[in-house]
Amino acid sequence: MAGLLPAGLLPGGLLRAGLLPGDIASPAELAGRLAEHSYLADEGLATAAYLGLKLSRPLFCEGEAGVGKTELAKALAALLGAPLIRLQCYEGIDASQALYDWDFPRQLLHLRAAEAAGAADLEGLEKELYSRRFLIARPLLAALETTPAVLLIDEVDRADDEFEAFLLEVLSDFSVTVPEIGTLRAATPPAVVITSNRTRDVHDALKRRCYYYWLEHPAFDREVQIVRLRVPEASDRLVRQVTAAVQALRAEPLLKRPGVAETIDWAQALAALGADHLDPALAAATLGAVLKYREDAERVLDVGSLVARAVAGA
């Protein structure tokens, strides 16, 4: 079973081999390497990610939607040259959907083939049916089997308390028990990024297991840097004006404040239309790139005035 070792073969407990590349010696160097993959991390986030990689601790990123939590996991995967294995959480998700399941159709076909061949060793046949070849790896098991790997547990706040307790058990020693096979542990734990939009409070026990970092909406200059990096085809004038307009929108009483992702989307849309600056008419025509609720679009009735103020201050 590639990437997994039976629990008893790890003297002294879990092997804690971090995934931090040997040529990265500080959080500042990690931030520089992430920037090479189009992700700008501030000192606090770079430090939390550095420690998570070095010490094999999950990184718990919390903040509003669109501030860059999921993008961090993607950038780490690119930096490490590792696959990104994503577990998207939702209400009602359970262990079988996150960990593993048995491939019953294949088991049935194998059983029928063995019967047709006149198999006499029923005990051996049963063991074959519940071996690794018939186990379907869901994201958690796939991450434990893959070295290196980046495991993204996205929007954990959408799951329920029981699923949080299950996650805590798996992440405490990066192991999984399959009753028919035994307890297996990852030879090298994956890098784990857990995200939450804080639609509800996540239990303290899970947060204590992780390094925690709250992501804010960036300041104007930092957001301009991010958009420039992600939308190089946009003019500097357009990037600054779009960023100013989005930051003005965040000050409005909206159902969903636009995040950095929406700033990038808006700049991309305008650049695709050949715009080199933001004008009120074009802003109104492309508002769907930044506001995702009809009620929010209706709240910002005077887009022209808002854009004019933002552009003047950019």
Look at 53-62, 127-136, 216-225 and tell me which has the smallest mean pLDDT: 127-136
Return the closest-CA partner of residue 45 out of 65, 57, 60: 60
The closest of 173, 3, 168, 154 to 84, measured between CA atoms, is 154
CA angle 65, 71, 73 (to 5 degrees): 115
User: What pLDDT, on the 0 to 100 scale, is given for residue 175?
Assistant: 87
Q: Which two tokens stand for residue 117?
A: 């061949």
Helices (H), 218-302: 220-230, 236-250, 260-272, 280-285, 294-299
Residue 2 pLDDT > 60:
no
Stretch 121-127: mean pLDDT: 67
Tokens, residue 261 = 């992702």
Name the more confident of 215 and 296. 215
CB-based contact 46:34 (threshold 8 Å): yes
Average pLDDT, the chain: 87
Q: Which of 14, 62, 1 is nearest to 204 (CA)?
A: 62
Strand ranges inside the chain, DSSP E: 4-6, 59-62, 84-88, 100-102, 135-137, 150-154, 175-178, 182-186, 191-196, 211-214
Rounded to whole angstroms, the Cα distance separating 265 from 278 reads 14
Confidence of residue 14 (pLDDT cuts 50, 70, 90): very low
274: Cβ contacts below 8 Å, ≥ 6 apart: none
Q: What pTM did the predictor assign?
A: 0.84
Identify the weakest region by mean pLDDT among 5-14, 153-162, 263-272, 298-307: 5-14
Asked if pLDDT for residue 147 goes beyond 50, the answer is yes
Both structure tokens of 120: 């006499």
